[in-house]
Amino acid sequence: MHVNWEAVSSAVTVVWFLAFVALCLWAWSGRRRKDFDAAARLPFDEEER
């Protein structure tokens, strides 16, 4: 059985690209805004030591 490594490489590239796009959409979705705003305020919410 001969494996077409070019096709495998292309398929892996497409899968990783789709995963990257999905991650970007997840991170920039409106549902995540509250969590990211809270994380952005963390350095200012801590008491000074």
12 confidence band (pLDDT: 50, 70, 90): very high
Q: What is the pLDDT of residue 45?
A: 86
pTM above 0.75, yes or no: no
Asked if residue 17 lies in contact with residue 23, where contact means CB atoms within 8 angstroms, the answer is no
Q: Which amino acid is at 30?
A: G
Task: Please report, for residues 2, 8, 11, 37, 49, the alpha-carbon distance to residue 27 in angstroms, rounded to integers and kept in the order given.
Answer: 40, 29, 24, 12, 32
Top pLDDT among 17 and 3 is at 17
pLDDT 10s digits, 24-42: 999 888 888 898 899 999 9
Count of positions (residues) in the chain: 49
CA distance 48 to 43: 10
